[in-house]
Chain A
Amino acid sequence: DAMVIQNPRYQVTQFGKPVTLSCSQTLNHNVMYWYQQKSSQAPKLLFHYYDKDFNNEADTPDNFQSRRPNTSFCFLDIRSPGLGDAAMYLCATARGGSPYEQYFGPGTRLTVT
Chain B
Amino acid sequence: GESVGLHLPTLSVQEGDNSIINCAYSNSASDYFIWYKQESGKGPQFIIDIRSNMDKRQGQRVTVLLNKTVKHLSLQIAATQPGDSAVYFCAENPNTGNQFYFGTGTSLTVIP
Q: B34: nearest residue on chain A (CB-CB)?
A: A101
> CB of B99 within 8 A of chain A?
yes
Within 8 Å CB of A94, what residues of B?
A: 98
Interface of B, secondary structure class, is loop
A21 at the interface (CB under 8 A from B): no
Size class of the contact patch on chain A: 20 to 34
A107 at the binding interface (Cβ < 8 Å): yes
**B16: interface (CB < 8 Å):** no
Residue among B89, B102, B104 with max Cβ neighbours from chain A (10 Å): B102
- Digit string of A72-113 for contact with B (CB within 8 Å is 1, else 0)? 000000000000000000101010100101111111000000
> Quick one: which of A33, A90, A96, A102 contacts B46, CB cutoff 8 A?
A102
From B31, B42, B89, contact of A43 by CB (8 A): B89
**A33-45 CB contact bits vs B (8 Å, 1 = yes)?**
1010000111111
